[in-house]
Amino acid sequence: MTKLARIVTAVSMGLLLLVGFGRGEDPTAKLRSDRDGLALTPPMGWYPWNEFGQEPQNEKLIKETVEALVRSGMKEAGYTYIGPDEGICFSRDASGKLTPNLARYPSGLRGLGDYVHQQGLKYALYTDAGTHTCSKAMPGTKGHEFEDMKAFAEWRADYVKVDWCNTTGQTPQTAYPKLRDAQLAAGRPIVFSLCSWGQGQPWKWAASVGHLWRTTEDICGPGKASWTAAMKNLEANQKLSASAGPGHWNDPDMMITGMSGLSEVQNRSLFSLWCMMASPLIAGNDLRSMTESTIKILTNREAIGINQDPLGIQARIVRKDGAAEIWAGKRLFDGSQAVLVFNPGEAPAQVQVTPGDAGFEESASLYVRDLWTQQTSGPRAGSIRVTVAPNDVALLRISKTSSFPLPPITVADSYRVVFHASVNSAQKLTQAITVKNNGSSELPLWALSPGLPSWLSVTVTPSGRAQTFSNKVSVAGLGRGHYHAVVKADNREPISGLPMSALYYDVDLDVSGAAGGPAGN
Ligand code: GLA
């Protein structure tokens, strides 16, 4: 590092500024999400573990998967969080600091995060609450919670999964709250995914700690999807419906939809069940080589709408009819109801779903939409008769009206803007970020959180179904160095009036020593 670079780095550390993360310093907050407004609907994204295990996780795989996620339409459907799982990302140096594994991640972990953000996606990382991660190839956070969460914030992680291997002598009830405190101290909004596989019964206490918690063992070994194992996770997770809600989700593990070992019917059923359980929709298959059928399943926006419903209710089994299960109790934001008939048996099942099963009075006149055939019938009275093949589902949305609005899906063209300017130049530079809603309602304007630094101003303007965030920096009076801000905004879903997950992005400003430097890019 040159002397100048050292000075710039030192200055930049001093100038690092986080703004707009102001929802609450309230230490008595009942929910973690009351503090940060994050994950008010189940997180959607991709993690490599189910398909790849530790190998070959590296920067190339993550970047190729980002491209595939965008190309396949998954980004437009709402999948957002992506990054390495236990992919030998970092080690700890002699001073105790985490250092990225540059052989696997040549851009560094911050560099990979910048890439992810610039594709309009959010960055996920992985660590462990114990001494080491499960394979022992990476250090765990035990005894280093505050420095490690600070490193994750500096790498600009938006989501962190914290595993539970090598934790002898620790309890989830004390280890995870410490990590929460470390994340809050680090100051970056971050979704916290607890991964103790149900140990310590996190559904009873972790809503004030993190945004989601694993309820089960792993759904599969790397590359070895199994329908039987998935059914075990389903069975355990479905009992916990009372513990889920906006900002606090039961997590029956990443999906295995699209992995070899499952039939098309099983792929569709697993996805439907995860949608009904308001489970995080974290894909675990190889996105680079998906079949058309898998893409269609993973991007079914009407099914995703059930999962991303602002009320955040986890459906439960309300009745069994022979082998068939009737899943309901999932009222949606517009007063409609989601109902799933799942047939885990070996023979076709004929089931009558009554209006009462679906949460309506028995005499109600109803419209029924099949979310896989995308056909609507009605108005009609009485029971709805469905025939469901073995392992298959009927996924229905039932309403008193014939309109079936989709809840918001927020999609940004980028979550990072970068400005380059020169000192004493009186330059004013502008760059925009565009945020679309792929749901069916027009959203109110996003409301910016106060507290932007004096060099940055942001205005939000509507443009059709999108909104533009215009970021204007004013260099006058600034010394050279690196300046950083997090811009945060809130919104409400207009039909229910419920808050949406907070939106935020990074703004970087580099002010160089020489006058007449390049304008913002
Ligand atoms: C645990 C987790 C998995 C994965 C591996 C990595 O088994 O439950 O999801 O993160 O660790 O080793």
**Ligand 1 atom with least separation from CA of 254:** 9
Asked if residues 475 and 511 have their Cβ atoms less than 8 Å apart, the reply is yes
Alpha carbon distance 276, 184 (integer Å): 31
The pick from 132, 159, 163, 220 for probing ligand 1's pocket by mutation, whose C-beta has the most ligand atoms within 8 angstroms, reads 163
Report residues whose beta carbon is within 6 angstroms of any ligand 1 atom. 49, 85-86, 133-135, 163, 195, 197, 218
Question: Of the candidates 422, 455, 38, which has an alpha carbon nearest to the alpha carbon of residue 247?
Answer: 38
Q: How far is the CA of 265 from the centre of ligand 1 (A)?
A: 27
The pick from 46, 47, 49 for probing ligand 1's pocket by mutation, whose C-beta has the most ligand atoms within 8 angstroms, reads 49
- 322-358 pLDDT tens trace: 999 999 999 999 999 999 999 999 999 999 999 999 9
Q: How far is the CA of 501 from the centre of ligand 1 (A)?
A: 27
Nearest CA to ligand 1 atom 4: 49
Alpha carbon distance 484, 506 (integer Å): 7
Strand segments (E) across 181-309: 191-195, 212-214, 249-251, 281-283
Nearest CA to ligand 1 atom 6: 86
Alpha carbon distance 420, 521 (integer Å): 7
Contacts of 186 (CB under 8 A, 6+ apart): 146, 149, 150, 152, 153
Q: How far is the CA of 32 from the centre of ligand 1 (A)?
A: 23
Alpha carbon distance 203, 34 (integer Å): 17
Residue type for position 1: M
Q: How far is the CA of 157 from the centre of ligand 1 (A)?
A: 18
Q: How far is the CA of 54 from the centre of ligand 1 (A)?
A: 10
Tokens of residue 157, six digits: 């992680």
pLDDT at position 151: 98
Q: How far is CA 193 from CA 227, 245, 370, in A?
A: 24, 15, 32
Characterize 253-287 residue by residue with b for buried, 16 or more Cβ atoms within 10 angstroms of its Cβ, and e for exposed.
bbbbbbbeebeeebbbbbbbbbbbbbbbbbbbbbb
**What is the secondary structure of 359-376 as a DSSP string?**
TS-TT--EEEEETTTTEE
**Ligand 1 atom with least separation from CA of 164:** 1
Catalytic residues: 163, 218
Asked if residues 459 and 487 have their Cβ atoms less than 8 Å apart, the reply is no
pLDDT at position 22: 40
- 122-176 pLDDT tens trace: 999 999 999 999 999 999 999 999 999 999 999 999 999 999 999 999 999 999 9
**Ligand 1 atom with least separation from CA of 86:** 6
The pick from 51, 55, 85 for probing ligand 1's pocket by mutation, whose C-beta has the most ligand atoms within 8 angstroms, reads 85
Given a cut of 50, the residues of the chain with pLDDT beneath it are 1-25, 516-521
